[in-house]
């Protein structure tokens, strides 16, 4: 059953699909996918080509737009858009601390989650494409991890694509997670330096907060154990277009005077716990490093191990001197599964995924080298989340891929840039730019 409804300028239709959990076993267990079809109101009864949007993450449902926000308005000029909640996210069959115990213990949960990587998502797309388009190929727009999925699409099912558009999501084709994070920490350090250059008053504020957290146990109202490392992880904001400003506004109201002395303010704690909690997107924490697994080497908490190679990120050592505290970025650490109540029940499951050594390859080098699908990618110079050098190496490996390298945007350029980013990429795939 489909349900249609309206928002300003658009008609929306809820769609649901049943797909195999394991595409290698199509007669086995199934899960449900949810997607929202969007069409411009004045084109609702017209035939149009389709564009499927793959959200970043992993672990996030598709954007919940109101009307024609961000890039969507540009897309609706010529496409029907399918906003897919990738498996385990949004309104699709959920995978979280409440539902995963239905699988059994940690071993069964970890086995289940091996089916939540890019290869399974692409096979989902191919299965539902035949129903959505009647078999016609469609255009894919992949943001961040959605771009990783798009490169897998070009490797495994290019016949399903009219064109591929990638924003901030050209992955390395062969890097281990260790390589990814060795490249990431210096970029993160540059982003932190840029933040302090913009807001020099935040140097002392950040040191004061970290010192307070190191001095004693702090538990946020939702039960999150707020450690200095957790505070540093708020640096993930610095990868977005407004992130530096958001971090600044968070830090400026951290403390309040009380009858018992100075304390972290309720307002600061409320905002911090909302930013830190993985309750709404636990898959991000569970399979984040697994998206880089392609061989017999375990990821083995790569971001945590590699961080030890960069001692300048150690909060206690920083506070023993007079240097600025460094925030961290898009990294997942084992302590998160101790601090976050939404992740604590899944700690053993996460450990099993980190130890896994049977990951299948995600990219087909030969097929990418022979690619015939028009592909364009926005590569954001010094993107905090995806290494520029890795992206450009992949661009050279994909036949016909055209890049737009820009420092005008951060990682969320497709949102912050409105229609401009999508307009540029479409022009590149059509040899109009």
Task: Please give the span between the terminal C-alpha atoms of the chain, in angstroms, as a whole number.
Answer: 42
Instruction: Determine contact, residues 387/184, Cβ cutoff 8 Å.
Output: yes
Helices 388-397 and 177-198, axial angle in degrees (round to 10)? 130
Residue 355 CA from chain centroid, whole number: 22
Q: Is 144 a catalytic residue?
A: yes
Catalytic residue (one of 155, 333, 411, 412): 411
Instruction: Determine contact, residues 337/235, Cβ cutoff 8 Å.
Output: no
Measured CA to CA, the distance from residue 13 to residue 128 in angstroms comes to: 15
Tell me which residue has tokens 């250059």: 197
Catalytic residue (one of 296, 322, 358, 431): 358
Catalytic residue (one of 85, 115, 119, 144): 144
Q: Is 211 a catalytic residue?
A: no
Going by C-alpha positions, the residue among 8, 339, 292 that lies closest to residue 151 is 292
Going by C-alpha positions, the residue among 377, 389, 356, 350 that lies closest to residue 184 is 389
Rounded (10°) CA dihedral 121, 127, 128, 130:
140
Measured CA to CA, the distance from residue 401 to residue 394 in angstroms comes to: 9
Handedness of CA 423, 238, 68, 144 (dihedral sign): positive
Report, as residue numbers or ranges, the catalytic residues: 144, 358, 411
């Amino acid at each position: 059953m489909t349900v249609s409804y309206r928002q300003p300028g658009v008609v929306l239709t809820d769609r649901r699909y049943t797909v195999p959990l394991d595409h290698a076993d199509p007669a086995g267990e199934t899960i449900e996918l949810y997607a929202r079809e969007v069409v411009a109101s004045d084109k609702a009864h017209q035939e149009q080509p389709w564009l499927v949007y793959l959200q970043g993450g992993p672990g996030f449902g598709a954007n919940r737009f109101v009307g024609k926000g961000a890039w969507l308005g540009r897309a609706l000029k010529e496409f029907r858009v399918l906003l897919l909640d990738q498996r385990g996210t949004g309104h699709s069959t959920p995978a979280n601390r409440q539902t995963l115990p239905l699988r059994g213990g940690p071993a069964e949960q970890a086995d289940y989650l091996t089916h939540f990587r890019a290869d399974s998502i692409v096979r989902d797309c191919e299965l539902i494409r035949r129903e959505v388009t009647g078999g016609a190929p469609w255009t894919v727009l992949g943001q961040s991890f959605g771009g990783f999925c798009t490169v897998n699409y070009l490797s495994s099912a290019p016949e399903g694509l009219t064109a591929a558009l990638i924003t901030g999501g050209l992955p390395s084709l062969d890097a281990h997670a260790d390589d990814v994070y060795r490249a990431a920490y210096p970029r993160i350090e540059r982003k932190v330096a840029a933040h302090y250059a913009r807001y020099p008053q935040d140097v002392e504020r950040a040191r004061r907060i970290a010192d307070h957290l190191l001095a004693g146990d702090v538990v946020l109202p939702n039960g999150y154990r707020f450690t200095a490392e957790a505070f540093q992880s708020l640096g993930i904001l610095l990868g977005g277009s407004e992130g530096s400003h958001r971090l600044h506004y968070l830090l400026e109201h951290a403390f309040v005077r009380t009858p018992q002395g100075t304390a972290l303010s309720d307002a600061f704690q409320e905002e911090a716990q909302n930013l830190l909690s993985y309750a709404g997107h636990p898959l991000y924490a569970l399979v984040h490093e697994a998206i880089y697994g392609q061989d017999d080497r375990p990821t083995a908490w790569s971001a945590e191990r590699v961080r030890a190679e960069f001692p300048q990120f150690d909060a206690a050592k920083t506070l023993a001197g007079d240097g600025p505290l460094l925030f961290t970025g898009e990294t997942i650490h084992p302590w998160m599964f101790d601090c976050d109540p939404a992740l604590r029940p899944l700690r053993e499951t996460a450990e099993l995924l980190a130890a896994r050594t049977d990951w299948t390859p995600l990219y087909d080098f030969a097929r990418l080298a022979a690619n015939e699908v028009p592909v364009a990618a926005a590569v954001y110079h010094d993107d905090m989340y995806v290494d520029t050098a890795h992206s450009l190496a992949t661009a050279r490996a994909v036949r016909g891929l055209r890049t737009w390298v820009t420092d005008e945007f951060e990682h969320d350029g497709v949102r912050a840039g409105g229609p401009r980013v999508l307009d540029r990429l479409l022009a590149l795939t059509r040899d109009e730019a």
